Structure 1
Amino acid sequence: MSIGNSPEEDRPPVGRALQQARIDARLTVEEISTSTRVRAPIVQAIEQDDYSRCGGDVYARGHIRTLARAVGLDGDALVAQYDEEHGGRPEPTAPATLFEAERIRPEPRRPNWTAAMVAAIVAVIGFVGFTLVSGGGGDSGKQAAEEAPSPAPSKPADKPSPSKTSDPKPSESAIAGAPGDKVTVRMTAEKGNSWVSAKDHNGRLVHEGVLKEGHSKTLTDDKRLDLVLGNAGGVKLYVNGKQVKHAGEVGQVQRLSYTRGDPEAG
C-alpha cells in the first residue's frame, strides 16, 4: 500500500491507512502493540483517527511513525499527512493532562551561626580592649591591649561554600558509584520537557509524568527498568553510573530497557 503517491482526495485518513496496512499484513492489534510497545487502546484509537489518548501532537506523531514502520508504510509521509490534517506541525508543548514530574528544590539556606559567634567574640574583645586603654592609661592600658588575644580568622565562616547548602544535584562521582547489584537510571531534561514512563521488572508502573527542562529523576530496580522517553534526544541519560551517548533524537518517542551492568555491553 502506497501513501503519498495518490491524489490527496483519494488518500485515506492516516488512521485508516494504518489499519488497512495492518490487516493486509495479517497482524492483530495485540501483535502490533507487543512489537511496538504502544498500548492496544492507543493503537485502536489511532486507527479510528482519534488522537486524544496520545497525550499531545508530539507523541501522536511519534506513535504514527512507530506504527507505520511496523506495518511497512512510509512514516514520514504519514506524519506529513497528519500535520496537514491537523493544521501544520505544532510547537512542542507539555501535555496538560499528564502528571507533573517531581521537582527538585534546593534546600533552604541555613543561618551561619559560626560567623555570628565569631563576630560576637570580636565585638566583646574590642569593647574590653577599648575600656582598658581609655580607663587605665599609660603602659598598663597599652600592655592590656597588647595582651588581648587576636580574633580568630573569620573568612571561612564569612564565606560559606554555597555548594554545601544550595546545590541539590549529586556529583558525577556519586553517579559513578551506583550500586552494582541494582539497575540505576538517572534522567535529566536538557533540551525541552520530556514525557517519561518507567516500569520495573514485574511490569509495574513506577513513574509516569512530564520531566521539565533542567530537572532530574533517578530510578532503581533490582533487575530491570523499562523506559519510554517522549523526547529522547532532549534527555541526558546515565545508566548504572555510565552516560548513554545517544538515547534518540529530539522529539522522538523512544522505548529503552536496562539491566544491571554496562548499558552498552548488551
Structure 2
Amino acid sequence: MTATGRHQGMTALVTGGSRGIGRAVSRRLARDGALVAVHYGHDEAAADRTVKEIETDGGRAFAIHAELGVRADAATLWSAFDRELATHAPDTEPGLDILVNNAGITLPRTIEHVTEEDYDRVFAINTKAPFFILQQGLRRLRDGGRIINISSAATRFAYPGIIAYSMTKAALDHLTLSLALELAPRNITVNTVAPGFTETEINPTLKNPQIRQALSAHSAFGRLGRPADIADVVAFVASEDARWVTGQWLDATGGVGLGL
C-alpha cells in the first residue's frame, strides 16, 4: 500500500483491467486503498493473476467477466459486478466510486481495408460498450464519484493506418465532455486520459526494434510510455485532489509531437 491511501474505502471498476494499461491502473488504485473490480473479456488467467498481484501487495480486488461488443454486454457486466461485489466484499456498501473505461481493441488498417464487420466490431467494443456501461452504471455511481475514459493521442493527429480506431476514441472524447456537464450537479467528474505510444501487448509491432526506436523518438523523453506512467495519471484524476478538474482531455503521451 502507498502512504497516501487516497482511495481508501472506495470501490473502483476497471474495464479491461487484467492486462496492459488496465492492469497497471487496477494495481495502482488498489495500492492507494480502493477495492478494485478487475474486468476481463476473455483472459481469465490474466485477471486472476492481476487479482493475486494486488492481494500480494496488500490490496483488495476481485475479477468480473463480461465479453464486450456483444448484445447486452453492459447488463452482463453490471450483473457480474453486483454479484461479485456482494460475494467478495459483503461488508462493502453496494455501488461504485471510480469507473475507468479502459477496455478496447485496435484496428490497424487504412480505410480501403476496413470491412463493415471490422468497423462494427471496433465501434461496438470501443464506443458502444462504454456508452451503455456508463448509462447503466450511473445509478450505481455515488455522488462525488469519478469517471475516467481512456482515449488515445490518435484523436489529435492524423494516423490513416488506424482511422477507424481513432474515430472510436474521438467519440469517447465527446462522451467525456457531455457527461462532465450533465453530472456536475452530483459532483461527479468525468475526464479523458489519452496515452501515446505505450508498451503493451495490444501493439505487437513494438517487438520490432526499428519500430520501437521510431515511436520512441516521437516522445520528448525519447522512450515509449509504460503502463505505470498512464496509471499514475489515472490515479490522480480519480482522487479528491482532482475535484476541480472535469471535462478535460489529459495528454499522457510523454510530450509526443512537442517538436513538430
User: Where is the helix percentage greater, Structure 1 or Structure 2?
Assistant: 2
Do the two structures share a fold, i.e. TM-score over 0.5? no
Higher relative contact order (CA 8 A, sep 6+): 2
Greater C-alpha Rg: 1
Q: TM-score, normalised by structure 2?
A: 0.21
